[in-house]
Amino acid sequence: MTRILMILTSCDKMGQDGAPTGFYWEEMAIPYWTFRDAGYEVDLASPLGGQSPADPSSDDDPAARSDAVTRFVEDTHAMQALSDTAAVSKVDASRYDAVFLPGGHGTMWDLRQTPAVAKAVSTIYENGGVVGAVCHGPAGLIEATLSDGTPLIKGRRINGFTNSEERAAGLSDVVPYLLEDALRKQGAEFECGVEDFCGFALRDDRIVTGQNPDSSAGVAEYMLAALRDTDRAAA
């Protein structure tokens, strides 16, 4: 059975600012159920293992929860998995057919900074797997390299949370780096939607990225298409 590794943040505070952060609920739950409903197994991991923190701002009005988030918080098995994620350094990435990195500002402080994240992404990709990330999740792609040392995203069409969106969120001086700038510096061909905070997902063969929370469903569907294409090529 196809298995997908989902790597969440372990960071619950924004650096010196100290504001609470974590993963963004919609960016995790929508792809999670898209993958599960398509028949794939999904395992959760994080840099430190254990409970992955959710950004409270992504679920500040339970009455306005998306169906996917409601389904997740009401699912005992899913919530147990979230409370006991595996440490990425202890995960055997060779067992997975795809890896997905949800966003949330917490990712800016630990996905890029955790070598095991880059190693897992690189291993899965070089084994023929699919790599996906949304919003700030592409932070975990920055340090990933091919076996010859070339950055994984060099020359690839990539997107993520833009500089303009970071400024609009009032956090451009809080985050440790600007994601768009870092992706470009690694040689990515950065593309984005025509407006801030509009859904925009992008597929470049086996690498799929999305710009913001509204891009979560698009990223998940593109990843499923890439997995199907990979299966057909291997048949």
Say which of 136, 143, 165, 180 is annotated catalytic.
136
Say which of 11, 26, 105, 135 is annotated catalytic.
135
DSSP 8-state symbol, 156? S
Which helix (DSSP H) or strand (DSSP E) does residue 86 occupy?
strand 86-87
Say which of 26, 27, 143, 166 is annotated catalytic.
166
Q: Which residues, listed in sequence order, are joined to residue 231 by a DSSP beta bridge?
A: none
**Would residue 135 show up in a list of annotated catalytic residues for this protein?**
yes
**Would residue 11 show up in a list of annotated catalytic residues for this protein?**
no
With contact defined as beta carbons under 8 Å apart, do 48 and 12 qualify? no
**Would residue 166 show up in a list of annotated catalytic residues for this protein?**
yes
Q: Which residues of 77-110 are buried (b: 16+ CB within 10 A; e: fewer)?
A: ebeebbeebbebeebebeebbbbbbbbbbbbbbb
CA pair distance 30, 44, nearest whole angstrom: 14
Point out the residues that are catalytic: 135-136, 166
